[in-house]
Amino acid sequence: MKLWTWSAVVMVSCATAPEQKPEVPQARPTAVVLADETHLSNLRQLTFDGENAEAYWRFDGAGLSLQARGVNDGCDRIQTITTGAQPVLQQVSSGNGATTCAHWFPNGTELLYASTHLGGATCPPKPDMKLGYVWALYDTYDIFKATVTPGAPLPLKDAQLTRLTDTKGYDAEGTVCGKDGSIIFTSVRDGDLELYRMDADGKNVKRLTSTPGYDGGAFFNKDCSRIVWRASRPKGKALEEYQSLLAQGLVRPSKLELFVANADGSDARQVTYLNAASFAPFWFPGRERILFSSNAGDPKGREFDIWAVNADGTDLERITFTKGFDGFPMFSPDGKTLAFSSNRMTAEGKNDTNLFLATWVDGPSKSAPGAAERALDDVTWLAATEREGRGIGSAGLQAAGEWIEARFKALGLVGAAPDGSFRHTFDVPTKVTRGAKTSLRVAGKPVVEADFTPLGFSAQGKVEGPLVLAGYGIEDAELGIDDFKGLDLKNKVVLVRRFAPEHPKLNTPQAQRKAGDLRKKVFLAKAKGAKAVLVIDAPVLVAQPDGKAEPVMEAPLPGLRMESLQDAGLPVIAVKRSVLAALMASLEKKQPVAVSLTVELLIEKSSTFNVVAKLSAGAPSGKPAIVGAHYDHLGLGGTYSLAPEKSEPHHGADDNASGVAALLEVAKELSATKATLPRDVVFVAFSGEESGVLGSSALVAGKPAWLDGAWAMLNMDMVGRLRMNELSVLGAESAPEWKAVVERACETSRLQCAASGDGYGPSDHISFYSAGLPVLHFFTGAHNDYHKPSDTPDKLNAIGIAKVSEVVSAIVSASKDVTLTYAKFPAPVRGDSRSFNASLGTVPNYGGGLPGVKGVLLDDVRAGGGAEKAGMRRGDVIVKLGKFDVGSVEDLMFVLMQAKPGETVTGVVVREGQRVELEVTFQEGKRR
C-alpha cells in the first residue's frame, strides 16, 4: 500500500512513520474532532513527528504495527506501538533498504512485511518526478515474516527474517487472514499488478485477479470469506500509458476504485465510481461495509478524507472533514476503536503525518439517498415475501403492478396502453384441475380417482383401445435404446415407464432428466400413431437380506399443474403401479389389455397487465424510444399455480426486480431532463415474461399508436449482479449505429460493455425485434440463484443497477440526429437451434398460438434460415413437418431433435386460414 502526504500529494510505499522514543512528550495540543465528524469521539494522538501510517491492529487488539519514517530516515521502517497511557514505539525492521506494509499474524508474535533489504542496505532511488506523480515498484521488494518475541532485542537482523516470496519483481502489500494466517498480496510475477493468495508459509500461491490494471492493497473481512482492494482499470491510451510505466517499474495511482470479491477472487464487483484516488479499504467488523480513503470531491486532488460505503455501493458517507490528509482507517478487532493517519494536528510549514485513535460512534448516515439506494429499496419491496414471488394470478403480482403504476403517475407520466390507460390487460392460463368426467378403466375395471391423474399437458377427450407396453418410451440411437422397435402403436394406448433406466451414459442428473422427459416420450408415441399414453413407475427391484427381490417404493403421482399453454395432442394419464401390477406379465407378453379413458381438464385463466406509461419530451423527434423490464416472476414453489406443491416464494430479486428498479430510475432521470429530451419515451413494465414473453407479445399484437415508427426498444432483464464492472449489451447488431452510441454511454458511466448479438433472445425485446425495431438487451450475467428462492436482494450489486440505468438513460438521450437502421440478422442461425440437432431459423411465439389453430405461431423467421428459404414468414402457423404433426412449441423442438441437417421434408403451415405446403430443408443446429 501507499500513503499520500497531503502537502506534496506524494504516496510513499505503504505508509510512513518516524523512529521514535518510548517516551511521549507532554503538553501536546489536544487532538480535535470537528463537528461534522459525528462517528468519532475521544480522539487521541499516538505519534508526533515524521511520517507515520498504515497502522494495523494485532488480532488481539493489544497494539499495532505501522510503517514509519523519521525526520532523518531515508526510507520507511517497520515499527510496533502499544496503545496504553504511555505508548511504546519499537523498530522491528533492520533499517536496511525500504520496508512496507506490516501486518500481524493471528498468533500475535509474527509480523509480515515487505522489504528491499536483499537489494542492499541503502534506500532505493526515488522515481523521477519528471514523469509526473508516480509510485516506484521496486523489483527488489519481497515478502518476509518476522518473529517479534517479547523481551528479545530489536530491531531484528535481516538474517532473522523468513523469506516468503522470491520471484523476480515487485512482491508487496501483504495482509493476513485472521483465521488461518494465509496471505493476500500484490505481485508483478505474471506481467501485471495482480492479487495473489498464499499460505502462511508462502506455499500454494494462487492468482486471484486477471484484469489489466493495478490491483493492490487488499484486506480480508473478519471471517476471511471476502476481500476488498483498490484497482485501476485503464482502457485505450490510459492502458498503454499504464503498461509503459509498468515496464519501467512505475505506476500512476491517480484513478483508483474499490472492488470486493469472494476470498478466491470470484464474483468480483466494483463498489465505487468516484473517478478519484480511493485506497486503503478496510471492512467494518462483521458487516458488509467498508472504510476507505479518497480525495473524491477535491478538483486539485490534495484533500484526502475517510469515507464509508456498503459493499453493494450504497450509503456512501464522508467520515472526516479536516483540511489535508486523513486516511488508512482500520478498526480494532472489536470494532470499537478506529486507528487512522492524519496531519490534522501538523503545524503550518511541516509535513508530518501521525497516528490517531478514536472511539467509533455508530449512528445514521448523513448522506442523502441516491440512485443506488433507491434501486435497492425498490428491489427489496418487489422481492419481499409479501409479493408471493410475483406469480401470474397472485395478489403479490397485482400489488406490484399497482405500485409501478403509482410510481409512473408520481413522475408525471401518462397512460400509454392501446386504450390510453396505464394498464394493458391480457389473460394467462394459470391453473388446471381435473373435471368430473375424467375417468379410467383398465381390463373393464374402474380405477379409483386417487390412483391416477391426468398430466397438465394432456389433451382432453375420450379414448378406447388396447394397451401396449413400450418400456421407458425412449428412442435414442446414441444410447442404443429403441423401446418402440417392433411395436404397432397405431390407434393403441401406450404404456411407458416414468423416469429413465440405468445406463452408463445416463450418469448425471441432467442426462437422467433428458432421457426421462415425459413430454418427449408422449411426442414419440403420438408420432407412431398412439391415441393416448399411460405412465407408471418402473418396477425397479432391490435385493433383500433373504435373497428375494422387492420393488422399491413408488414415487408419488405427478402433480396436476399448468405446464404448457399447448397440450401434447393426445390424452396422458399417470397411474399408480398397483393399478397394473397384475397385468404386467400379460403386457410383457404383448397380450392386449383393454383400456378406456376420458380426460376433462378445467383450465382457469388469470387476468394480468402490462404497465405502460409515456414521458413527453420537450422537443421530440417523433420517434419514441421504448424502455422496458418485466415485473413478473415464478410465484410460490416456482410455478404459476395458485395451489403449488410448495409455498416457498421465488423472490426474483435479480430476475427481474432489478430490471424494474432500473426502469424506475431511468424514468426518474429522464423525467428530470424532459425539457431537453430529443424524443418521447414509452416505459413498459411487462407481465407474463416468465410464461413465454406473453406480455410483450400481446402488447405488440395490440398495435399501440406509438409502436409504428418507434426509434428502438431497450430491455433490462437481470441487471442486478454487475461483476468485474462488465455489462452485456445484447442486440447491438440489430442496428449498425448502436456500437458508437453504446460505447459513448458506457464510457461516460465508466462501465466495460460487451456489445454484441442480434435482436433475438429469451426476453421481452424479442417481440419488438420481430416486429421490426432495433433493440438492446441489458444483462449482467447468469448465476446459480437463477429461478431459485435464493435469488434475494442481499446478493445484488445496487450501485451496478444504478450504473445500468445511467447507461440506458444516456442511450435514450442520444442526439435526435442518431438514426437507427434496422438490421435483419442473417444465418448462421441460433434461435430454434439451441441444443438441438437441426434448425429451421424460426422464432416461435410462446403465447399459445392463434385461437382455434393448433400449431406453432411464428413471430419471425431468420434471414437465410431454412424457414425463410422455404417461404415461411411471420404470422404463419406450422402444423406439420415431414411425418410429424406439430401442435406445440415442444413438438417443434422434438422434431428438430429427430431431424438431420440437410434433410428436406414437406412442411405445412396455416396462413390466413389456408393450409400451405412448403418444401423445408433443415440446417445445422448450434449446440450451446
| Distance from C-alpha of 195 to C-alpha of 185, rounded to nearest angstrom | 6
- The three cell numbers locating residue 820: 437507427
Nearest to 727 by CA among 240, 380, 270: 270
| Distance from C-alpha of 356 to C-alpha of 42, rounded to nearest angstrom | 10
Whether 515 and 553 have beta carbons less than 8 Å apart is answered as no
| Distance from C-alpha of 883 to C-alpha of 905, rounded to nearest angstrom | 8
Which segments of 411-460 does DSSP mark as H helices, in order? Answer: none
**Could you give the 3-state DSSP secondary structure of residue 514?**
helix
Q: What is the pLDDT of residue 11?
A: 36
What is the secondary structure of 184-243 as a DSSP string? EEEE-TTSS-EEEEE-TTS-S-EE---SSS-EEEEEE-TTSSEEEEEE----HHHHHHHH
| Distance from C-alpha of 607 to C-alpha of 675, rounded to nearest angstrom | 37
**Could you give the 3-state DSSP secondary structure of residue 693?**
coil
As beta bridge partners, residue 716 has 778
Is the pLDDT score of 639 beyond 60? Answer: no
The pair phi, psi for residue 585, each rounded to 5°, is -60, -45
| Distance from C-alpha of 836 to C-alpha of 820, rounded to nearest angstrom | 33
Evaluate the CA torsion angle 366, 367, 369, 373 in order and state its sign: negative
Q: Percent of the chain, pLDDT > 70?
A: 92
E strands along 409-540, which residues? 414-415, 423-434, 439-442, 445-446, 452-454, 461-469, 475-476, 481-482, 493-497, 532-536
Whether 827 and 841 have beta carbons less than 8 Å apart is answered as yes
Q: What is the pLDDT of residue 150?
A: 82
pLDDT, mean of residues 244-255: 94
Is the pLDDT score of 518 beyond 50? Answer: yes
Q: What is the pLDDT of residue 18?
A: 35
Is the pLDDT score of 573 beyond 50? Answer: yes
**Could you give the 3-state DSSP secondary structure of residue 238?**
helix
Is the pLDDT score of 434 beyond 90? Answer: yes
Mean pLDDT lowest for which of 619-628, 750-759, 905-914? 619-628
pLDDT bucket at 339, cuts 50 / 70 / 90: very high
Mean of the per-residue pLDDT values of the chain? 90
Q: Pick the residue with more confidence: 894 or 640?
A: 894
Q: What is the DSSP letter of 509?
A: H
Is the pLDDT score of 552 beyond 70? Answer: no
pLDDT bucket at 864, cuts 50 / 70 / 90: confident
| Distance from C-alpha of 205 to C-alpha of 207, rounded to nearest angstrom | 7
Is the pLDDT score of 26 beyond 70? Answer: no
Mean pLDDT lowest for which of 4-8, 21-25, 194-198, 876-880? 4-8
Q: Omega of the bond prior to 343 within 30 degrees of 0, cis?
A: no
Q: What is the pTM of this model?
A: 0.86
pLDDT, mean of residues 73-95: 91
Q: What is the pLDDT of residue 109?
A: 93
- The three cell numbers locating residue 478: 446414441
- The three cell numbers locating residue 265: 477472487
